[in-house]
Structure 1
Amino acid sequence: MKKQLFAVVVGAALAFPLFAQAEGAYIGANVGRSELKLSIDQEGTNKKSNTGYKAYAGYDFTQNFGAEAGYVDFGKVNRTIDGTTLEAKSHAFYAAATGTLPLNEQFSLFAKAGVSQNRTKISISDASGSESKNKTSAIFGIGAAYNISKNLSAVAEYENFGKVASEGGDKLKADLLSIGLRYKF
């Protein structure tokens, strides 16, 4: 995970001069509550709330339409069955189309829909090693933004990433409720 976070930071630093030239471009970071819901066939469901975070960049083509891409870390969820503990850690890279409805100069509502490439690492306590699963899923989100200044906005949003991992009747679902700051160039 440290390598991925390093790659996101380096990529953002390299892209920063390009964004500075592009009016309509923005970057942002959010932190909040992620919820992972692990359903194991014939064993029930386990929900776990974690601190989740995301870093993203986007571009508004018009006042109402744009695109956004980013990285989200959902944290982990544990489940113990008959003395064996299963741990699942999940993160995602996503790309989405965005729609914005300005209510006035300070407030706006927005929605997004797109796809995410999810990676989930599964570890079992009585087995050596771990296994990683990749899954592509649809995402959607809604939120609101408050313009603090011409370039800086506070945002609050909810994003649903659907099933981030599944095998047979077992599945892991994820969502993120977060607040953060967005800087527009």
Structure 2
Amino acid sequence: MALTLRSLRPFLGKLGTGTLATALGLALATLPARADNPDGPYLGVGSGQFKLNIQNLDDAGTAANSILHSSNNAQKYFAGYRFSPNWAIEAAYIDLGRCGDHFTATGSNGNYRVNISGFSPALIGSLPIGPFELSAKIGEYYYDSKLHVDFDAGPAIESSHRRNDLLYGGGLGLTFFDHLHVRAEYETIELQSAKHSDAFWLSAAWRF
């Protein structure tokens, strides 16, 4: 006798949706990790949203009483090498865009704009779980920071610096056709004068 959805309905009803969800979860968890492409180089690109958690404008020589945090679109281009399904090194060029907003300061208010871009080497650890891949990253961000401040009264001020600060984060990825790896990732960058600034990325990489 052929099995049809109608013939299975009484049996499925006895199991209940909770039991079916548990069974499906166990099936996904016991799927083997993809081993068709366990190591090698990869290239990728990412697009995301960066939130600047700016704390002061000391670079511009002014002490601001209230600064509005801001966000902007961000892009990154990266290359890496996977030594195994669990470990990789990665180098990325990260452009965090042009963040800016209003501030209030003693004597004069104004607007600020910050351009941040630079290079980041990082170590990545991954844990394949069925078809999915959990990852954690730690690295250093070497960047150029350019600040432009317009006051309501008085001349504009500009400053630029080269710095490096800690970068770390984690993500969840899925690989298609053994080569195309798509990942959602959250990163925190401990920028000077803007601690705990963060970015959310959607990226795609081709694993050779």
TM-score > 0.5 by shorter chain: yes
User: In the TM superposition, what whole-angstrom CA distance separates every residue of 1:134-185 from its partner, at most 9, and x where no partner exists?
Assistant: 221111110011111111011100111112x3xxxxx124321011211111
Q: Percent identity?
A: 26
TM-score scaled to structure 1, two decimals?
0.77
* Aligned position for 1:25: 41
* Aligned position for 1:6: none
* Aligned position for 1:102: 128
Point out 4+ residue stretches in structure 1 off by more than 6 angstroms. Answer: none
Partners of 1:100 and 1:91 lie apart in 2 by: 26
Long gaps (5+) in structure 1: 1-22, 166-170
User: In the TM superposition, what whole-angstrom CA distance separates every residue of 1:70-120 from its partner, at most 9, and x where no partner exists?
Assistant: 01111222333334322211123100111010112x211111111111211
CA-atom RMSD in angstroms? 1.8
Which amino acid is the alignment partner of residue 96 of structure 1? A
Which amino acid is the alignment partner of residue 73 of structure 2? T
Partners of 2:173 and 2:47 lie apart in 1 by: 15
Partners of 1:49 and 1:130 lie apart in 2 by: 20
* Aligned position for 1:84: 110
* Aligned position for 2:24: none
8 A contact 1:56–1:69 mirrored in 2: yes
> Out of 137, 140, 147, which is 2:165 matched to?
137
Which amino acid is the alignment partner of residue 114 of structure 2? A
Residues matched between the structures, number:
156
Higher Cα Rg, which structure: 2
Q: CA deviation at 1:122?
A: 0.7
Which amino acid is the alignment partner of residue 81 of structure 2? Y
8 A contact 1:36–1:74 mirrored in 2: no
SS of the residue corresponding to residue 39 of structure 1 reads: coil
Partners of 1:25 and 1:77 lie apart in 2 by: 37
TM-score scaled to structure 2, two decimals?
0.69
* Aligned position for 1:121: 146
Which amino acid is the alignment partner of residue 70 of structure 1? A
8 A contact 2:68–2:103 mirrored in 1: no
> Out of 61, 66, 83, which is 1:61 matched to?
83
Q: CA deviation at 1:129?
A: 6.5
More strand by share: 1
Long gaps (5+) in structure 2: 1-38, 57-62
Q: Does 1:158 align with 2:174?
A: no
SS of the residue corresponding to residue 168 of structure 2 reads: strand
Q: Does 1:175 align with 2:198?
A: yes
SS of the residue corresponding to residue 177 of structure 2 reads: coil
